[in-house]
Amino acid sequence: MSTTVLAGEYMAYLATAEACDSNTALIVSGDLRCLQPIFQIYGQCRAFSGPVVTLKVFEDNVLVRELLETRGEGRVLVIDGGGSLRCALVGGNLGQSAQNMGWAGIVINGCIRDADEINGCDIGVRAMGTHPQKSNKKGFGEKHIPVHIAGTLIRDGEWLYADSDGILVSKTELTV
């Protein structure tokens, strides 16, 4: 268990390497999974965790905005953007909204933009990269469904743990 400063408070977080070492039975059973290392690190919080909210969209961020403008309550939004590198699904305004609404983090199988603004936000963000072009605004997509990103199936309500070493998803909240 390590300690980090988050939003002016000290909070304990689970180091992903330590979680892997302490939970080999969960890894073998598939109840604890490691995402492939395809994500870049953005935002002030290099380590974050929380219950997962899933979203599946493609080059359209209307539903992303809808969710990030609701109370996050320490949850992590996992967005399956289809791995598109043709536009951004989250920009500086949504990063600020996520911070203000209490989201712990965002993991995007796609791109962000306004990286400098997002890097100033007190949340954790993982994305495949940056792209200056904004997304479509049609409102297509699905919320709260299983998504498959970075070699891993992720379900709404599971727990996500991210730090500088990587990202883990667990069926239940972990303790060390």
Q: What is the pLDDT of residues 48-92, one digit of tens each?
A: 999 999 999 999 999 999 999 999 999 999 999 999 999 999 999
Q: What is the pLDDT, as a whole number, of residue 175? A: 80
Question: Is 141 marked as binding a ligand?
Answer: no
pTM (2 decimals)?
A: 0.92
Question: Is 119 marked as binding a ligand?
Answer: no
Return the percentage of the chain with pLDDT > 90, whole number.
91
Question: Is 6 marked as binding a ligand?
Answer: no
Q: What is the pLDDT, as a whole number, of residue 63? A: 98
pLDDT band at residue 128 using 50, 70 and 90 as cut-offs: very high
Question: Is 93 marked as binding a ligand?
Answer: yes
Cα–Cα–Cα angle for 14, 16, 22, nearest 5°? 80
Question: Is 113 marked as binding a ligand?
Answer: yes
Go through the domains of the chain in sequence order and give each one's CATH number: 2-170 (3.50.30.40)
Question: Is 32 marked as binding a ligand?
Answer: no
Average pLDDT over residues 91-117: 98
Q: Longest C-alpha distance within the chain, in Å?
A: 44
Encoded amino acid at 74, one letter: G
